[in-house]
Amino acid sequence: MFSRIAGALALCAGVWAAATGALGQAVPGDFSANTSFSPGVVLATQTSRLRIEFLNNETAPVTALALSNSLPAGMFVRDAPNLSSTCGGSFVPANGATQGSYALTGGTIPARVGLNAGACAVEFDVFTAYRGSFNHVIAANAASGEILYDAGGGDMQTATIRNGASAQATLAATLLDLTGSIANVGTDGYIQGGETWERRITLTNPNAVPVTGVAFTHNLATDGGWNTRAEPGTFSLCGGTVVISDEPSPDPAASGPTSRFVASGLTVPANGSCVIPYQVSPSRSVTLPRWHWWQNQNFHANLVTSNEGARNSHFGIGINADTGIQVDHWFNDSNHAIVDATVTSSATYRIQIYHAQAVAVSNFNLTQALPAGLEITGIQSNDCGGMLTTPGNTSISLTGATLPGITLQQHHHQ
């Protein structure tokens, strides 16, 4: 009786063992992929370290690990990427025209040990070409690998598994805008006809990285300051080029040409400045009637573009241009002279030529008729030169006079 029972138990045990062997091991699940930046916030063009990590919760290693992926647009691999990998295989980073990429082949994720997932990681240095927010994504199923498992009865099979969920990390690349100033050199902002002074546009970079590829178009006809004209030319400055050319005045009847500045390829060094000096003079002819006017030269916000995305804040300066010739006249040094005919029958008529020019004006001519009923009895003085006549004793004619240039920053009366 005992032997029959034991035999039955043995039979049952054999059936159980056979059933278990036939079922084998379940098909392994997916592995996971993670990514991160360190640090997560940098200045544009500064280095951050990109980490890609794979985790395997199976008791067998994942082999033939592969992942080909692109970096976000504007993010690139450093020329010296400082590559570190515990995944083995081959890892090849590369750069294209607009972004970087990388490819991992033949890698291995170790098997889980106890409760600790097997892990391997790849790290390398990246940077962004300009400021912004850059999101690195590893899409679900983008990475693949192979794993051995027992399909039953010792039948070892190879399964292809993937990263079952997507992963992403964001790198913030910041950059402050440039600041700037315009300064008059050697003058307090008052410029006379025929004078030339130096002006300087200064772009200042408050960042700890250079700002490159700086470009702008600054048109005095639209940005203000068209009472001045800069000396045209092509100048190599700050690693780039500044071209100054004539630009038609918005009021050609009042002034001559003003200027346009076109800058390209400039570099403003880290925590430094780029200075653009130029020679400026009034844009109005010295032979026109006097015009004395103030204008602000405005370098408007966001005129500047750059490789790194930095723009500029607004800045500017005023300048007072005094040009041309002014003629005043008086009787007895008064605009409203009263002559007592019982005392005298004459008055002194004086013409004054106000000349605010730093250059001489030659061949100056003037004809002035006296009011009806008055006649000229004689010329007392003439310090204008040229030929002075009094046709019919009813008008004054000055021809061929020369108005000499004056001392800079002074006015001259003749």
From 128, 150, 167, select the one nearest 44 (Cα to Cα).
128
Q: What is the pTM of this model?
A: 0.81
Pairwise CA distance, residues 118 & 129, whole Å:
35
Q: Are 306 and 212 in contact (CB under 8 A)?
A: yes
H or E element: which one contains 118? strand 118-128
pLDDT in the model for residue 369: 92
Q: Are 55 and 118 in contact (CB under 8 A)?
A: yes
pLDDT in the model for residue 24: 58
pLDDT in the model for residue 408: 55
Query: In one letter, which amino acid is 195?
Result: E
pLDDT in the model for residue 382: 86
Pairwise CA distance, residues 90 & 93, whole Å:
10
Please report the domains of the chain, with CATH numbers, ordered by start residue.
26-174 (2.60.40.1530), 179-323 (2.60.40.10), 326-413 (no CATH)
pLDDT in the model for residue 293: 82
pLDDT digit string (tens) for the chain, length 414 residues: 434 434 443 333 333 333 344 455 677 899 999 999 999 999 999 999 999 999 999 999 999 999 999 999 999 999 999 999 999 999 999 999 999 999 999 999 999 999 999 999 999 999 999 999 999 999 999 999 999 999 888 889 999 999 999 999 999 999 999 999 999 988 778 888 888 889 999 999 999 999 999 999 999 999 988 888 999 999 999 999 999 999 998 888 778 899 999 999 999 999 999 999 999 998 888 888 888 888 899 999 999 999 999 999 999 998 888 888 888 888 888 887 777 666 777 888 888 888 777 888 888 899 999 888 888 888 888 888 889 999 988 899 999 988 887 765 544 444
Burial track 275-312 (b if 16+ CB lie within 10 A, e otherwise): ebebebbbbbebeeebbeeebebbbbeebbbbbbbbbb
H or E element: which one contains 305? none
pLDDT in the model for residue 269: 98
From 175, 47, 65, select the one nearest 119 (Cα to Cα).
65
